[in-house]
A and B are shown apart, each in its own frame.
Chain A
Amino acid sequence: MSEPVRIGFYVCHCGTNIAATIDVDAVAKYAAKLPNVVVSRNYKYMCSDPGQELIQQDIKEHKLNRVVVAACSPLLHEHTFRNATMKGGLSPFFFQMVNIREHNAWVHTDGEQATRKALAVVRAAIARVPLHKPLEIKKVPIHPDVLIVGGGIAGIHAALSLADGGKKVYLVEREPTIGGHMAKFDKTFPTLDCAACILTPKMSQVGSHPNITLWTMSEVAGVTGYVGNYEVTIKRKPRYIVEDLCTGCGECVEACVYRQPRFPDEFNEGLGKRKPVFMPFPQAVPPIVMIDPGTCRVWTHGECKQPCVKACGDRKAIDFSQKEELKTIKVGTVIVATGFQIFDARRLPYYGYGLYPNVYTALEVERLVNASGPTGGEVVTRSGKKPKTVGIVHCIGSRDENTNKWCSRVCCLYSLKLAHLIKEHTHAEVYNFYIDMRTPGKSMEEFYNRIAGEGVHIVRGKVADVFPDPSDPEKERLLLSAEDTLLGRVLKFPVDMLVLAVGLEPKADAQDVRRMLNMSCGTEGFFLERHPKLAPVSTFTDGVFLAGCCQGPKDIPDTVAQAGAAAAEAFSLISRGHIEQEPNTAWIREEDCSGCKSCVPLCPYTAISFVEEKKKAVINEALCKGCGTCVAACPSGSIVQNLFEDEEIFNEIEGILAND
């Protein structure tokens, strides 16, 4: 470039976020003396309107042609300052950002050392920015269809929001029916409305919506592409029922060689029984049966008279020859709503789950109190007796360094709800053992107040031991040892039934989903949002959004709100019709390419192909995501990446390593 480089440098105080640790004045004074710097300033909030105008004014007044801002993470404000640079009449890529907040002020306490570090990174940016080129932003169209992974209340709500707005949605669910955990709940706090009554209408809307393609018993098997243009492979497991032909009449279930249901019923948490051919629950969507090869005689015995086939008759909906199928779809955006799993109470053996028959998880009790549950809504112990006393222990597998450290957020409230329902069904004395009663949210504290007023015993202390009451001749009653911490006394509580308020945790295969969609997870394993406050449903992968408990434990109102937000984010992208692509793509200097093909298989986006006639590799710019893998791998150094050219990076390194 012939015209001389004129850099404007700005260091942001970010209130006291940066200025309390780093001597911003010293940084500005230091930068003023660096080569090519024409203007050097410090300002309280560079991201504010006056801050941005300062840049624009300086560009005009001082004929700046490069801008460097030292402030927060480029994730937050690179866009802001590129815009300001552009408004000042320069290419936005003549701007370079330096992170001295997240990478510096927030993680260091020694101000002097922090300031030295700031000087080094500022030097690096000022050394690299003269080499910047005016790159061009490319626009890529967005495919309007959306994939939603998971058909719980989050996936259902997001699917309906998009489909009602005219977008085509693929809803992929692993289980034979949509509905997720909510379908198993009896009542919902704090209003005590019946979960099925509010959920099943939405489920059947999904089932019949012309804009929704619902695939149950299906899983995402692979994802390629990028925002706006994802290609997704879906694995469809065999149901052994032809979905379009089954009417859900249930005649095959009646006809099954097993006269009585005898296999543990998954929907009722194993408390009830089903046949090998069954409908998961009466309001299942799709409203059709399935055959379980793990229990059906066709597989377990290799032979069966198959009266089910005869009962189905001309409908011909049963097909034992179904095989797993792979389907490929193209979508522009993905909403991940894969949900949670409950904590396995066996991990804390001293609560006796799996050992003493009358110890239940809260989810099992949801089925017990439910009218369509295994006992028809009667709360009885395993020996069929109505319990006179029931204990509910909060925080099982939550807030515990030995298991899961986080608060699962919903357990206090669902425990109060279950206390109410158990009392209503049995008139038993119910004891809720809590550590801290957490009832935030609209109408939740009022709900707590109501349940306490109903006479539920609310004991502050965690049960520490559960063992059979030696004085019970029937050997069914359990003793709970707990300190009533407000009383300061260790007491033994005899109960006929113990309910464990198990926490929520990431799905066992959450890591596989994370890898497939290139997302991040927090330390606890829930999917990580792009920003906890300002981008709560976005992920670090463009075009992939989060809804529901896969992002962290939350109740139904928050899940639905988040699902709506995720749908809106997807909608916004689709409505825009295109995305602007960061021009940090790679290209090949043809004269230097030796045609070795090393780069071709390495590209995760299959953007590189080999041109036989010329014996050279070529990169499809539309597919390149700028990951830099090929650049690092090229043995002849012929691949160049925009914004990360070798010279720029060497200058940056020299800047870092130079003396103050």
Chain B
Amino acid sequence: MAIAERAVTCPNDTTLETLLSTPEGQQIMTCLQCGTCAGACPYGEFMEYPPRAVINMLWRGLLDEVIASGSLMRCVGCYACMSKCPRGIRLTDVLLPLVKEQTLANLKEMPGELQKSLENMARYGNPMGESPRKRAAWAATAGVPVRVLAEKPGPVDILWFVECYPSFYPRGQATAKATAKLFHALGLDFAILGHEEQCAGECGHLTWEPGLFEKLSEANVKALRKRQFKRLVTGDPHAYNAFQNRYPLAEEGWQVEHTAILLAQHVEQLKPRLTKRIEAKVAYHDNCCLGRGMGCFDEPRALLSAIPGVTLVEMAHNRKNSLCCGGGGGGMWLDTYYKSKGMDRLSERRVQEAVAAGADVLAVSCPLELFRFEDAVKTLGHDKQLVVRDVVELLAESLEG
């Protein structure tokens, strides 16, 4: 069972003061102090108080010291600790976010990059500070028709929630266009919200700002409720995770799917049309939200295996034991801060694993990773031997043959 699928066992208004009196608090009291969480944490060695110690300090009423230490600034929300916890304690989505929120509130100086991104999300609905009006601009050059509901309303089967990076950044738009091409090739009835879409806000929620998450999620739910559709599909695992577990969508009756899961359902239909060979050794990177969070490991691999010429290779850390790219839980905007603390970049660790596995292509299914890994490939000087591609890009490329 995917760890994020288990019901969260404490109410939304839980605080660090009330946590121990919730059912999840009882679970926290059963902690063995075995340190599995700390050893599993990709940044555990850089934390003065790794998750085990956070629990111990919570028991003793000494959390103020943990908050002041800033240890939780280093948590990338990757579920590694929670997925291995022998007591099933909800570290990643209950305890640690509560401590992180206080950590940020008590920070003397907010890391600039993060501050700017959070402000942008609040003001413009996207972390890069782009004009919301431009959100659907890419659709005009998609090469296939992409219906924008703000312009052409009416019922539709699939409402595709594009998210910020694929909407605004050229490198991300390439994945949006690939997705559109695949949907079109499969004859799916799909449309996007257009400028009414805002950042899903998952990183904001798991990171620091529950207030910001509430604002964004309310705006999105309002926009979604205006439309008539059956399935809510997104290529962003963070948004997927948020829709499944955090958004109040239970009563809407929409089927929520990640692009990889949706496409995998059509893999037999796709196979005969994937004619262009891609001769490459491909390593798939299990991103945290889709993999550990939602238990989806096989679908992206099934899609890659359907491409003629592709040989799948596995990195040392894979599936449930995957290594985070470092972009989750706010890490996307903390690279400078981490560097100032002498911490290495997780994306570089991951790229080294891909090279060690002999991969030519590092395949991803999360919009944040293209940027993180392409950057790491360049800084490590591996750009001659390794390229980073979204799974949908590889599929769309093969479709052209």
Contacts and interface: CB of A to CB of B under 8 A. Distances in A.
Interface of A: 349-350, 395, 399-402, 435-436, 460-465, 467-468, 470, 481-485, 488-492
B274 interface: no
A62 B38 CA distance: 72
Interface string B314-335: 0011011100000000000000
Interface stretch (B13-21, B81-89, B109-117, B152-160): B81-89
Given A485-B33, A485-B52, A402 B38 contact: no
Interface stretch (B40-48, B202-210, B241-249): B40-48
Interface in B342-391: 352, 356
A468 B315 CA distance: 11
13 contacts: A349-B320, A350-B84, A350-B320, A350-B321, A400-B86, A435-B32, A460-B35, A462-B34, A464-B36, A464-B40, A482-B39, A490-B44, A490-B50
B53 interface: yes
Contact of A485 (B35, B47, B87, B356): B35
B316 A483 contact: no
Given A399-B86, A464-B37, A483-B35, 6 more contacts: A399-B32, A461-B34, A462-B39, A462-B86, A464-B35, A481-B44
Contacts of A399: 32, 86
B352 A401 contact: no
Contacts of A462: 34-36, 39, 86
A482 B39 CA distance: 4
Contacts of B35: 460-462, 464, 482-485, 490
B38 A490 contact: yes
A467 B39 contact: no
Contacts of A481: 39-40, 44
Interface in B17-74: 32-41, 44-45, 47, 50, 52-53
Given A435-B34, A489-B45, A490-B44, A465 B88 contact: no
A350 B40 CA distance: 10
Contact of B44 (A435, A468, A470, A483): A483
A289 B45 CA distance: 55
Contacts of A350: 84, 320-321
A483 B321 contact: no
B7 to A, nearest CB: 15
A485 B55 CA distance: 12
A464 B32 contact: no
Contacts of B40: 464-465, 481
A465 B319 CA distance: 13
Given A467-B316, A470-B352, A490-B45, A349 B39 contact: no
Chain B CB within 10 A, most for which of A401, A436, A464: A464
B301 to A, nearest CB: 15
A427 to B, nearest CB: 27
Contacts of B39: 461-465, 481-483, 490
Interface residues of B, number: 28
A400 to B, nearest CB: 4
Nearest to A491: B45
A465 B33 CA distance: 16
B342 to A, nearest CB: 15
B272 to A, nearest CB: 34
A489 B44 CA distance: 8
Contacts of B84: 350, 402, 464
A482 B38 CA distance: 7
Nearest to B51: A483
A436 B86 CA distance: 14
Given A350-B320, A468-B316, A470-B352, A401 B37 contact: no
A433 to B, nearest CB: 9
Contacts of B38: 461, 464, 483, 485, 490
Contacts of B53: 488
Interface in B183-237: none
A243 to B, nearest CB: 47
Contacts of B52: 483, 485
A465 B317 CA distance: 9
Nearest to A434: B34
Contact of A401 (B41, B44, B86, B320): B86
B41 A490 contact: yes
Contacts of B32: 399, 435-436
A482 B44 CA distance: 9
A346 B383 CA distance: 35
A435 to B, nearest CB: 4
A479 to B, nearest CB: 10
A461 B37 CA distance: 10
Contacts of A465: 39-40, 317, 321
A436 B33 CA distance: 9
Contacts of A435: 32-34
A395 B84 CA distance: 13
A166 B206 CA distance: 71
A467 B44 CA distance: 16
Given A467-B316, A483-B44, A402 B36 contact: no
B11 to A, nearest CB: 23
Nearest to A356: B316
A467 B317 contact: yes
Contacts of A483: 35, 38-39, 44, 50, 52
The 5 lowest CB-CB distance pairs between A and B, nearest first, are A464-B39, A483-B35, A483-B38, A464-B40, A461-B35
A402 B292 CA distance: 14
A519 B32 CA distance: 34
Contacts of B317: 465, 467
A470 B50 CA distance: 25
Contacts of B85: 401
Contacts of A464: 35-40, 84
Nearest to B321: A350
A401 B319 contact: no
A59 to B, nearest CB: 51
Chain A CB within 10 A, most for which of B38, B52, B319: B38
A578 to B, nearest CB: 50
A490 B51 CA distance: 11
A468 B52 CA distance: 25
Chain B CB within 10 A, most for which of A436, A462, A489: A462
A490 B38 CA distance: 7
Interface in B137-166: none
A66 B230 CA distance: 70
Contacts of B320: 349-350
B158 to A, nearest CB: 34
Contacts of B87: 401
Nearest to B43: A490
B33 A401 contact: no
A482 B35 CA distance: 7
B41 A349 contact: no
A481 B44 CA distance: 10
B356 A402 contact: no
A483 B40 CA distance: 9
Nearest to A482: B39
Contacts of A463: 39
Nearest to B39: A464
A263 to B, nearest CB: 29
A485 B88 contact: no
A505 to B, nearest CB: 15
B314 to A, nearest CB: 9
A402 B321 CA distance: 14
Contacts of B37: 464
Nearest to A468: B316
